[in-house]
Amino acid sequence: MIKNINVALIGNPNTGKTSVFNALTGLNQKVGNYPGITVEKKQGICRLDRVTKARILDLPGTYSLNASSMDESVVVELLLNKNNPDFPDVVVVVADVENLKRNLLLFTQIKDLEIPSVLVINMSDQMQRKGIKIDLEKLEKKLNTKVVLISTRQNSGVDQLKQILVDYRSIPSTLILDPTNIDQDYFESLGKAFPNQSLYKLWLVITQDINFTKLERQKVPDTAQFKTQPQSYLKKLQQRETIKRYQTINQILKETYRVNLDETTDLRSKLDNLLIHKFWGYVVFFLILLTIFQAIFDWSSVPMDFIDSSFARLGEWTKAQMPAGILTDLIVEGVISGLGGIVIFIPQIAFLFLFISILEETGYMSRVVFLMDRSLRKFGLSGKSVVPLISGTACAIPAVMATRNIENWKERLITILVVPFTTCSARLPVYMILISLVIPNERLLGISYQGLTLMGLYLIGFLMAIVSASILNRLLQSTNKSYFVVEMPNYKLPLLKNVAFTVWEKTRSFVVEAGKIILAISILLWFMASFGPGKKFSNAEQIVAHQYFNQVLSDSELENKIASFRLENSYIGILGKTIEPMILPLGYDWKIGIALISSFAAREVFVGTLATIYSVGSDAQETIKSRMDGEIRKDGTRLFNLSTGISLMLFYAFAMQCMSTLAIVKKETNSWKWPSIQLFSMTIIAYIVSLLAYQLLK
C-alpha cells in the first residue's frame, strides 16, 4: 500500500527553491491558484521509495513568518492551519550556502512551530570556490534537525533528501528559541490562558493579524484579548524576537560555518559595476533586448514555415480523405485553420520564454529590477513594479497577481493599471504575422528591420506604461512612502534542466489555454461564416451568376466570387459590416473588425480568426500568411499594406489585452471601477493612435 505525505518547500527568494522542486518532481508538476486568491500554487509528485509518495508544494518565497504581503501570508496561513488539506507533514527549508545566516531566521521560526523541518543547503558546489566550510554534524546538533547539502547542478544530495523525508517522524521537534525569552510576562500570561497550545503558534496568530490581514482559521483559539495591546508594542516584541533569533543564529554559525575570504573572487563586484551602472547598465540592457528580438525572428523562421505549410497540407489531406459536406468543411476550415493560427507561433513563444528564463537563472533579472528602480520611482512606481512589468511579457494575469509583493497601495494600484501596456506573449502572434507581411525582410548593419520593429513595439508598450503611471501618480493622492530592498543573487550559469522545465511549462500552458479558446471561437466563427439569414445567402450562386452574366469567368473565379458574396451575407459578414464604419478610418475592413472583437477573448485569437474567415470557401493548400497577403480591397490595393499593418500593431500595443485581464484586475482591486476605467481609457488611446498612424502613412 502506497503511503502519501505532504511536503512543503519553503525558502527565501533566490535560494534555488525552484531547482530543488524540479529535481524532486521532474515533469510531474502542475500550476494553479490557491482557492479564493490569485497567488500561484505549484505542486508536484515525487516517489521517495517503493511505498512512499510525496506531494511537494512549492510555496511562495518568503523572508520570515512576519508576513508583509499576500505571498508571505499564504505561507503563514498554511503553517498555522492543520485542517488545511495542504498542511505539511514535513517542511523542507531551502537555504543558500552563501546567505545561511539570513535563511536560518525563517528556518528557526518554522521549526518552533513544532513541524518536522529539514534544512537543505543549496548550491553546495560553490563551497570550495567561495572558500566556505560547514561542520555539518555540529550544525545538525545545534539545530536539532537533519541538514542536507544539495547541488542541483551536480545532482548531488537529492537521494539523501528523499531518504530523510521517508523517515521524517524521527526529526526532533525541539524548540530553538523559547518564546518566554522574548518577553517573560507576556508569554507566561499567554501560556496560562491557553495551556495546551503552542506558544509560538499563538504568537504568530496574533502578529499575523496585525501585520497583514484577518485570517480565517478553524480550531484556532480566540486570542482577541492579547491583541488589545498597542500595535507599536507588538511590533516591538517582533523586533525583539528577530534580535533574539539572530543572536542564537550567530552563535551557531560561529561554531559551524567558516568562510575563507582569501579564496573569494571580486568578479561579482566588477560585473555589478557594469550591469547596474547608471548609464552603461541601460546600454547593456538595451543590447540584450535587441539580441533577444533579433534571435526570435531569425531562429524561428524555419520551424514557422514548416508548421504553416504542414497545416496547409493537413487541411488538403483531410479534405481529400473525407466526403464533401458540412463536417469536412468544419474540420478543415474551422478546426484545422483556427489551430494552425496559433500553433505556428509556438517557436517564437518558446524562444521568448527561453531568454526570460536564462536572464532569471543567471541572476541578471534582479540587477534589472535594481537598475530600473532609480527611473521608475519618479513616475509613481518602485523597483518592485519592474517584476510585474517584465513578467507581463509572458501574460498580464500573473503580472497583475505579482503586484501583491508591493506593500504601498498607491504604487500597487498604478502598477496594476499600467501592466496591460506591456506586450504579452499573446500579442506576439499578432505582431509576428503583421511584421512579416508589411516590414521588409532586410538588414542594416546586420540588424533585421523586422526584429527592430518587434523590439520597438515592446519598448512602445513599456514607455506608454511609464507615461500612464506618471499621470496616475499625479491624480492619485497618497502620503505613504515606500522603500525598495532587493536581494542581489550571485551570478551563475543557467541550469539547463531548470530552463527546459520553464520553457516547457510556460509554452505548454500557453498552447493549452489558448488552444481551448481558439478551438471554441474557431468553430463558432466557422458556423457564423458558413450560414446566414435571408435569400441573399441561400441564393448566392444565382445572384452572382446574374451579376457576372456578361463576363467570362473561369470556374475557380466564379467559385471565389460566390464564396465572397456568401461570406459577406453570412451572420459574421452582417456583424462585420455593422461595425465597419467605425474601423474604416483606421484602415480596417469588416473581416479585421471581426478579428478585433473575437480577440478580446484572447489576443492570439486574431490570427486564428482571420485564418478561419479566409479559409471558408478557399483553397485548403494555401498557408495562413499567403491568404492574408493576398487579401485586397475593393479598389484593388493590398489590404495588409504598411499603413494598415502599423495601425493594427499600434492598436494591439495599446488596447486592453483580454477579458481575463479585466477579470483579474477586478479581483485584485475588489471593484469594477478600475477595470472599467482601464478598458475605456486604453481603448480610446489605441483608437486615436491607430487613427493617426493610418492617416499619416496611407
Q: What is the pLDDT of residues 356-413, one digit of tens each?
A: 788 878 888 778 877 877 777 777 776 677 767 776 776 777 677 667 667 677 888 8
Cβ atoms of 125 and 492 closer than 8 Å: no
Cβ atoms of 253 and 100 closer than 8 Å: yes
Cβ atoms of 417 and 396 closer than 8 Å: no
Grid coordinates given for 493 = 550559469
Element of type H or E holding 301: helix 280-321
CA distances from 315 to 253, 307, 521, 526 (A): 67, 12, 18, 15
Q: Which residue has the higher pLDDT, 87 or 359?
A: 87
User: What's CA 259's distance to the chain center, in Å?
Assistant: 37
Whether the predicted model's global pTM rises above the 0.75 cut: no
Read off the pLDDT band of 426 (50, 70, 90).
confident
Grid coordinates given for 236 = 516591538
Q: Is residue 12 predicted with pLDDT exceeding 50?
A: yes
CB atoms within 10 A of CB 19: 21
Grid coordinates given for 475 = 491624480
Q: Which CATH class is domain 3-263?
A: alpha beta
Read off the pLDDT band of 696 (50, 70, 90).
very high
Cα–Cα distance for residue pair 204/676, rounded to 1 Å: 39
Quickly tell me which residue has 540584450 as its cell.
288
Cα–Cα distance for residue pair 568/565, rounded to 1 Å: 5
pLDDT score recorded for residue 556: 66
Cβ atoms of 383 and 370 closer than 8 Å: yes
Residues 238-275, buried b or exposed e (16+ Cβ, 10 A)? Answer: beebeebbeebbeebbeebbebeeeeeeeeeeeeeeeb
Q: Is residue 443 predicted with pLDDT exceeding 70?
A: yes
Task: Name every residue whose Cβ is closer than 8 Å to that of residue 557 and which is 6 or more positions away in sequence.
Answer: none
Q: Is residue 261 predicted with pLDDT exceeding 60?
A: no
Question: pLDDT tens across 327-361, in order?
Answer: 887 787 667 776 776 677 678 778 877 887 888 78
DSSP E strands in 365-515: the ranges are 443-444, 447-448
Closest CA to 371 of 346, 392, 393, 389: 389
Quickly tell me which residue has 526529526 as its cell.
171
Q: Is residue 34 predicted with pLDDT exceeding 60?
A: no
Q: Is residue 37 predicted with pLDDT exceeding 50?
A: no
> What single string gives the DSSP state of each residue in 199-238?
HHHHHHHHHHHHHT-----SS----GGGS-S-HHHHHHHH
Handedness of CA 257, 260, 263, 265 (dihedral sign): positive
Domain range summary for the chain, segments of one domain joined by +: 3-263
Question: pLDDT tens across 100-136, in order?
Answer: 888 899 999 999 988 999 999 987 777 777 778 889 8
Quickly tell me which residue has 501618480 as its cell.
473
CA distances from 197 to 28, 191, 200 (A): 37, 8, 9
Residues 669-686, buried b or exposed e (16+ Cβ, 10 A)? Answer: beeeebbeebbeebeebb
pLDDT score recorded for residue 118: 93
Cβ atoms of 433 and 301 closer than 8 Å: no
The DSSP call for residue 115 is -
Task: Name every residue whose Cβ is closer than 8 Å to that of residue 372 and which is 6 or more positions away in sequence.
Answer: 383, 386
Cα–Cα distance for residue pair 509/511, rounded to 1 Å: 6
pLDDT score recorded for residue 690: 93
DSSP E strands in 505-544: the ranges are none
Q: Is residue 664 predicted with pLDDT exceeding 60?
A: yes
pLDDT score recorded for residue 90: 93
Q: Which residue has the higher pLDDT, 32 or 45?
A: 45
Read off the pLDDT band of 93 (50, 70, 90).
very high
Least confident of 153-157, 420-424, 482-486, 553-557: 482-486
CB burial class (10 A; 0-12, 13-18, 19+) of residue 552?
exposed
Element of type H or E holding 538: helix 534-538
Average pLDDT over residues 192-216: 69
Least confident of 180-184, 439-443, 552-556: 552-556
Cα–Cα distance for residue pair 30/52, rounded to 1 Å: 20
Best-predicted range by mean pLDDT (156-170, 212-226, 529-543): 156-170
Helix count and strand count (H, E) for the chain: 31, 11
Task: Name every residue whose Cβ is closer than 8 Å to that of residue 201 and which is 6 or more positions away in sequence.
Answer: 80, 113, 114
Cβ atoms of 691 and 644 closer than 8 Å: no
Q: Please, what is the Cα angle at 327 between 321 and 331, to 5 degrees?
A: 70
SS3 track for 447-476: EEHHHHHHHHHHHHHHHHHHHHHHHHHHHC
Mean pLDDT score across all residues of the chain? 79
Q: Is residue 71 predicted with pLDDT exceeding 50?
A: yes
User: What's CA 109's distance to the chain center, in Å?
Assistant: 30
CB atoms within 10 A of CB 479: 5
Percentage of the chain beyond pLDDT 90 is 11
Element of type H or E holding 148: strand 146-149
Q: Is residue 81 predicted with pLDDT exceeding 60?
A: yes
Cα–Cα distance for residue pair 660/664, rounded to 1 Å: 6
For the chain, give the number of residues.
698
